[in-house]
Structures are given as structure tokens and as C-alpha cells.
Amino acid sequence: MSGTQALDRAILVLGLVVEAEDAVTHAELVQETQLAASTVSRLTGALERGGLLERDRSGAWRGGPMFGRYAERFDRVGALVAIATPVLEDLAEATGETINLATARGDDIVHVAQIDARYVVGAVNWIGLDVPGHAAALGKVLYAWGTVRLPRGRLEVRTERTVRTRAALERDLARVREQGLAVTAGELEDGLVAVAAPVRDPGGRVVAALGVSGPEFRIGDRVDELGGLVVEHADHITRALRRRSRQSS
């Protein structure tokens, strides 16, 4: 087999795997390519060694880690969500409440992932909603560590408890930095309590905030417990980002 022919066949195999909706078995590759089983084995082995293919738990083939590293260079939010999602699911299981991950987009605070509460009351989808950061625990985390610049002009008032002045907001943010987490109660919506903690990149910079929220009647007495869980799980994401960075370097 010439070098060009081998390359063409490897490209064929790789294309079949990355364009498939599900992982592709060895037998399926043999059938689709009409190549000998031994040839397919050599090609997939070479692609696996190069990081372009990997096996799932069943032994079928899917896109390898090189695709993830390439995508991460251009879609850091997507990579963050992929890494964080198992942690969000664990936190949702532990608390039963709504779990959110937020990050910065320019000077805006955006919710990028959510796991809904197991209860009807409190299961609000915050993805895509315009939420003033000074009234939200996630926003206060991102403001506190300078991930997002403080809002300019007058602060939007959502409830009687909403922070109304820059001086009051800066005092709140100082407490957030001191305690390592943010807590809001009735500042965004009456009866809504939220707790959030920072997620850091491998360089120590806060790049996201992880939070849990729910109605005051259900979690108002659990703030300390939830705070500990949120900090613990935010640290899990931070460590996962650090591991990914080491693997990519």
C-alpha cells in the first residue's frame, strides 16, 4: 500500500467515525469501507495513537482527544461546560435544587449550563434570561474577582432587598471575597435564595461561577450546608480544568 493510498484510507475511516451520530464498531467500518478487517485495524490503531480516534466503553470508535483540544482553543465555553456538566449533575443530586454555571461574555454575565431542580417550585430555566448580576449570587462572584467589570450607572432594582448603590455593592463584594462565596436572599426575586462560588482556571483566575438556588421556604435554613457543597463542587471543576490543561500541554 502506497503512502498516499494509506492516507486516503485513513481519511475515509476517520470521516466515517467523526460524521456518525454514534460510536462506530470495527465491523461497521469494515462494511462501510469494504476494506479488509486487518487493514481497518491498522488504520484505526494508527489514528488512535495519533489521538484522532479513541474507543468507548464498548470498544467502538469515536473522535479522539485531539478534537477536544482543538475545539477548546476556539470554544472555551463549550469546553468548560463539557468538563463541568458531571459536577453539576453530582451537585444537583446532592441538593435536589437548581444548579447553574455562569461565565463572562465581554461585560455580560451569561448562564451557560443548568440542571433543573427535582421540584416543580423553583425549577426556572435561567439560560438566556437577562439577569442583573448585582442581584444574583453568580453575578456577585464574577464581579468580586474582576471577571466582569462592575455595572455602570444606576443599579436595577428588582425587589426591596436588591442592592441599590455602588458603595453597598462593593461592601457585598468584599464579603464575597472574604467568605469565598456569595449568598443572596430575595434580591433577584422575592423568596429566591442562591449560593455561588468561584471556578478558577489553571492560572488561578476566576473564569466562572457555580451556584445553587431555590425557594427560601425550602433552602433558607440550608445556606451553610449548601455553601459548603457549592465550594466543594466548584473546586472539583477547578481541578478538572487543571488536569485538562496538563494533558493538553
Burial of 136: CB neighbours in 10 Å, binned 0-12, 13-18, 19+: buried
DSSP state of 134: G
C-alpha cell at 154: 444606576
Cell of 230: 457549592
DSSP state of 22: S
The 3-state DSSP class for residue 176 equals helix
Q: What is the pLDDT of residue 248?
A: 66
Instruction: Of 45, 27, 25, give the one whose Cα is nearest residue 36.
Output: 27
Distance between CA 87 and CA 82 in Å, rounded?
10
3-state helix, strand, coil in the chain (%, to 5): 50, 20, 30
Contact criterion met (CB below 8 Å) for 66 and 50: yes
Q: At what angle do helices 137-144 and 166-179 cross, to 10 degrees?
A: 80
Same fold, 3-67 and 75-248: no
The second-level CATH assignment, the architecture, of 3-67 is: Orthogonal Bundle (1.10)
Give the Å distances, CA to CA, from 44 to 2, 3, 51, 140, 195: 17, 16, 10, 48, 47
In sequence order, which ranges of 53-165 are alpha helices (DSSP H)? 65-74, 76-95, 137-144
Superfamily the domain 75-248 falls into: GAF domain (3.30.450.40)
Residues comprising the chain, all counted: 249
Residue partners of 158: CB distance under 8 A and separation at least 6: 132, 135, 187, 188, 189
Residue 27 near residue 61, CB atoms below 8 Å = no
Output the pTM of the full model. Answer: 0.71
- Domain coordinates in residue numbering, the chain: 3-67, 75-248
Query: What element of type H or E holds 113?
Result: strand 108-115
Q: What is the DSSP track for 39-80? A: HHHHHHHHHHHTTSEEE-TTS-EEE-HHHHHHHHHH-HHHHH
Backbone angles phi, psi at 215, to 5 degrees: -70, 145
Nearest C-alpha neighbor of 68 from the set 78, 58, 55? 78
Q: What was the pLDDT predicted at 1?
A: 56
Per-residue pLDDT of the chain (249 residues; tens, 9 = 90+): 566 888 999 999 999 998 988 889 999 999 999 999 999 999 999 999 998 999 987 899 998 888 766 766 667 888 888 889 999 999 999 999 999 999 998 888 999 999 999 887 665 677 766 788 999 999 999 999 999 999 888 999 999 999 999 999 999 999 999 999 999 999 999 999 999 999 999 999 999 999 999 999 999 999 999 999 999 999 999 999 998 877 766
